[in-house]
């Protein structure tokens, strides 16, 4: 029986919902790393919970901006998969597995190429295993775009999208104001560090669109995406990137059963990320909660040991195959 999401009295604030999970991270099961060589000469790393048995579904976990298999939400889902003997693998974006990728290019909110390459390899190696996916935040936007781009040809059979910034321009503006600037600052510092490392690498420096002295000036997502993300990944401008990479316009083309979950109080977003019924294909189940923060959704426990709604909801949709 699925329980309804209702936050406890002490977790009704969106920032408590967003920050407390980071401060109360759980341990996770041991993982086995696999390096996937990409067609352009770069690589991504996959972290396996276990190898699939015959015909066993594989749950592919796609993390958010600067996340990894260490992220609080990934750890919790891996724990639940472990307890239920579900096969799961973490798909790392380039440079997010603890080792800098080889190319000047990195990853971005609309980057579906690496995901398709990974899925193709998985399908080749495990042809009888259905591929299921869950994407969080940036990873959720990537997953939404992938499902819409590939439509009926999607290699993913069922998917769940959590706290995805489906309108990138609106989210960039939101993160540049109020308390949300705290989240922006935390993430921008990590992006600056990775960009600095590449600019200092003699083999990559000439391909980087910024100089060492310019990096500290990139204080907002808009600035960073304007000076680094857009030119580095072949977009005409930051606005071109935000428009082409946003998942919102791809919802209507999704052919595989997909659950999209948002919280109306998400401090990373505005109401612009909430799609209308007309914007969603019939295969999309949209779930909007008034509270929950960004990838939070604490629904019980104590402040020292919170209990969460997400993992049960995700696996109920993916494995039980119920709306």
- Catalytic site positions: 137, 266, 294
Q: Which two tokens stand for residue 240?
A: 């071109």
- Cα separations in angstroms, 2 against 7, 38, 129, 236: 15, 39, 26, 45
Helix axes 72-83, 310-318, angle to 10 degrees: 50
Beta carbons within 8 Å of 101's beta carbon, 6+ residues apart: 42, 43, 44, 94, 95
Q: Which two tokens stand for residue 8?
A: 């406890």
Measure the CA–CA gap between 19 and 303, rounded to whole angstroms. 11
Residues in the chain: 323
Helix (H) or strand (E) holding 157: strand 156-162
DSSP state of 227: I
Measure the CA–CA gap between 3 and 83, rounded to whole angstroms. 19
Measure the CA–CA gap between 225 and 250, rounded to whole angstroms. 21
Measure the CA–CA gap between 289 and 36, rounded to whole angstroms. 37
Measure the CA–CA gap between 19 and 1, rounded to whole angstroms. 28
Measure the CA–CA gap between 132 and 318, rounded to whole angstroms. 7
Residue 249, helix vs strand vs coil: helix
Place of tokens 């083309």: 253
Task: Point out which residues pair with 301 in neighbouring strands.
Answer: 306
């Amino acid at each position: 029986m699925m329980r309804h999401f209702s936050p406890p009295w002490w977790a009704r604030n969106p920032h408590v919902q967003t920050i407390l999970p980071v401060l109360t991270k759980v341990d996770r099961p041991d993982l086995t790393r696999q390096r996937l060589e990409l067609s352009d000469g770069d690589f991504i790393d996959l972290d396996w919970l276990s190898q699939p048995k015959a015909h066993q579904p594989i749950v592919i976990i796609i993390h958010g901006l600067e996340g990894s298999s260490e992220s609080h939400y990934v750890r919790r889902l891996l724990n639940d998969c472990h307890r239920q003997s579900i096969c799961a693998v973490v798909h790392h974006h380039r440079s997010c597995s603890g080792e800098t990728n080889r190319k000047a290019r990195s990853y971005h909110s609309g980057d579906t190429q690496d995901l398709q390459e990974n899925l193709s390899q998985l399908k080749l190696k495990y042809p009888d295993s259905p591929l299921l996916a869950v994407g969080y935040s940036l990873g959720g936007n990537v997953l939404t775009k992938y499902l819409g781009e590939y439509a009926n040809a999607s290699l993913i059979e069922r998917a769940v999208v959590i706290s995805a910034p489906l309108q990138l321009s609106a989210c960039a503006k939101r993160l540049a104001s109020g308390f949300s600037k705290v989240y922006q600052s935390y993430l921008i510092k990590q992006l600056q560090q990775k960009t600095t490392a590449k600019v200092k690498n003699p083999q990559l420096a000439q391909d980087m669109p910024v100089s060492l002295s310019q990096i500290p000036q990139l204080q907002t997502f808009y600035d960073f995406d304007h000076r680094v993300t857009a030119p580095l990944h072949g977009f005409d401008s930051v606005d071109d990137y935000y428009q082409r990479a946003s998942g919102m316009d791809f919802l209507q083309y999704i052919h595989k059963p997909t659950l999209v979950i948002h919280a109306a109080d998400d401090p990373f977003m505005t109401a612009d990320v909430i799609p209308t019924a007309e914007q969603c294909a019939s295969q999309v189940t949209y779930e909007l909660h008034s509270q929950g923060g960004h990838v939070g959704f604490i629904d019980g426990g104590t402040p020292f040991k919170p209990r969460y709604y997400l993992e049960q909801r995700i696996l109920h949709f993916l494995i039980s195959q119920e709306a």
